[in-house]
Amino acid sequence: MCLAVPAKVLELRDDNMALVDISGTQREISLMVLDGDAAPGDYVLIHVGYAIEKIDEEEAARTLAMFEEMSLLDEEVPEGEDPLV
Amino acid sequence: MSVLTAFRDSERARSIIERIHRRNTGDISIMEFCGGHTVAIFRSGIRSVMPESVRMLSGPGCPVCVTSNADLDRAVALAKTPGVTITTYGDMLKVPGSRESLMQVRAQGYPVEIVYSTLDALKLAEEQPDREIVFFAIGFETTAPAAAAAVLQARKRGLKNFSICSVMKLTIPGARALLAMGEVKVDGVIGPGHVSSIIGSDAWRFLPEEHGIPVAISGFEPLDLLAATDAIMEMHEQRRPALVNTYSRVVRPEGNRKAWGAVEEVFTLDEAGWRGFGIIPESGLVLREEFADFDADRRFDITVEDSEEHPACRCGEVLRGVITPHECKVFGTACTPESPLGPCMVSSEGSCAAYYHYQRQLA
C-alpha cells in the first residue's frame, strides 16, 4: 500500500503536474505535495500518482559506502556519546 | 539507474550477510511495521539467509488488513446509496466485509471504480457532475497526502460532488498499541521507509528513548533491509538502542513537511477501530469541520449494524505478531488468495498472502 516507485522527471507541466518516466513508461503525476522543486533529470518517488520525495543520489552513494564499513553506528553515535542524546 | 540497482548488488549483500553471521547477538526478534517490507523480505529470500537466532516478525503494517469490518461495511453501504459511485484503490475490492466485498457489490451492478490515484477520482467527479463520487480512503501516512491534496483540489475547482470516506490510520499509535499490549517480544524494529519519508525518521525516536528498542529506518531493496537488520543486531548486542536511518537517500529527520502540512490542514485526529486491536485513540484521520462538505460520513446518512468477523479468521492475531499464518487452521485450506476469509490473505501485502506465496510449507 505504501509502495512507491522511483521515476525520472522528464518535463514540468501546468497545474503543478510533471511528466515522468517510470521504468520506461511515461506518466503524468502531481508535484503538489513534493517539498521543494523538481527539475527535469531529477529522480523522485511516486506514490498513488503523487511525487512524495526526491531521491538524493549523493546520499545514496554515501549510504552504499557506509554499508561497506564494519559498523553503521559510527555515523550515528560518535565515540563516548550517549546514543539517546 | 545505478543508484537503484546498486542496492540489489549481490556482492555487497553477501558481505552484510557474512557480517550478520559473524555476530554473537543471540536470539533476537525483529519486527517490521510495513506491508511493503513483509513482501520485500519474502521476495528477496532474506529470511532464508538469516541465522536461526533471528526471528523476523510482521506487525500491523498493511492498511487493508487493519481495516475493520465495520468500516468495510460502511463502504459497502455507501456503494449501494442511490447516485453514489465509490472509488478506491484496487487493494480493497476483494476484502470480505461482514456480508460482502466491494467486488461482490460491483457484480450486483453498483458502480465501484478502481482508481490508481485520487487524481482519477477527481477527474471522474468533473466528468460526471450528476453522480456523487466518493473516495474510500484507506492507507497510512504515505497515502494520506494524496487524499488531502484531492480535497484541496476539489475545493479549489469548486467540485460539489466529490467527498471522502476516510478510514486512514497512523502507524505510530498502532506501533505504540502493539507494544503496550506486551504480547510479543520485540527486540528491534525495522522502521517503515515511505511512512517515514512523510513523517520523518525522528518520529520513531520514542522506540529507543521510551522502550529501549533499537530502530533502523529501511528502504525496500535487499541491501536496505540487510543493513537495517545488521544495525539492529549491533545495537541490541551493544545494548545501545538508538535510531539509525539506512534510507537517508529518501527519508529526512523532519520528513516531508509540505505533504504532512496538507494532511494537517484537511484532517484531524480521531479514534479508530483496528482489526485485531479494537479502538486506538488518536490513530485515525477524519476531515476537519471546515471540510465537512467533502466528508462522505457527514453528507450521507449511513448506518451500519451488526458488523461481524468470520469466526475462523485469525487475522487479528496475525496482525499483532502473536501467531504466524501457519498457526491458523484455515490457512491455505478454507482460506486462500482465490477465496480469502480475511484481509491478510487478500492484500498482496498481507502476512497470510506473503506466507502463502513464498513459504507455504513449514520449513
Taking CA atoms, B193 is separated from A75, B229, B312, B358, in Å, by: 19, 14, 33, 22
What's residue A83's pLDDT?
A: 42
What's residue A1's pLDDT?
A: 82
* Best to test chain B binding among A17, A33, A69 (most B CBs inside 10 Å): A33
Q: Are A46 and A7 in contact (CB under 8 A)?
A: yes
**Nearest CA of chain B to the CA of A56: how many Å?**
5
What's residue A70's pLDDT?
A: 65
Interchain CB contacts (distance < 8 Å): A and B: 159
Candidates A1, A45, A84; nearest CB to B91:
A1
What's residue A80's pLDDT?
A: 44
Residue numbers in A near B223 (CB within 8 A): 64, 67
Candidates B16, B89, B119; nearest CB to A67:
B16
Q: Which three cell numbers stand for residue A19?
A: 511528466
- Across chain A, what does the average pLDDT equal? 86
pLDDT in tens, B25-69: 999 999 999 999 999 999 999 999 999 999 999 999 999 999 999
Closest Cα in chain A to B254: A35
- As a whole number of angstroms, the distance between CA B243 and CA B241 comes to 7
What's residue B303's pLDDT?
A: 86
**B349 and A CB contact within 8 Å:** yes
- As a whole number of angstroms, the distance between CA B314 and CA B276 comes to 9
**B108 and A CB contact within 8 Å:** no
- B36-72 b/e (C-beta count within 10 Å ≥ 16 → b): bbbbbbbebebeebbeeebbbbbbbbbbbbbbbbbbb
Low-confidence ranges of chain B (pLDDT < 50): 1, 363
3-state secondary structure of B138: coil
**Nearest CA of chain B to the CA of A55: how many Å?**
5
**Nearest CA of chain A to the CA of B260: how many Å?**
8
Closest Cα in chain A to B138: A1
What's residue A73's pLDDT?
A: 60
- As a whole number of angstroms, the distance between CA A71 and CA A78 comes to 12
| pLDDT at residue A81 tops 60 | no
CB pair distance less than 8 Å for B194 and A84? no
Candidates B34, B116, B248; nearest CB to A59:
B248
Q: Are B240 and B193 in contact (CB under 8 A)?
A: no
| pLDDT at residue A76 tops 60 | no
Q: In angstroms, how far is CA B68 from the centroid of its own chain?
A: 13
Closest Cα in chain B to A83: B242
CB pair distance less than 8 Å for A32 and B262? yes
Which pTM value belongs to this model? Answer: 0.94
Q: In angstroms, how far is CA B97 from the centroid of its own chain?
A: 18
**Nearest CA of chain B to the CA of A62: how many Å?**
9
Residue numbers in B near A3 (CB within 8 A): 36, 194
Candidates A52, A68, A83; nearest CB to B198:
A52
**Nearest CA of chain A to the CA of B73: how many Å?**
20
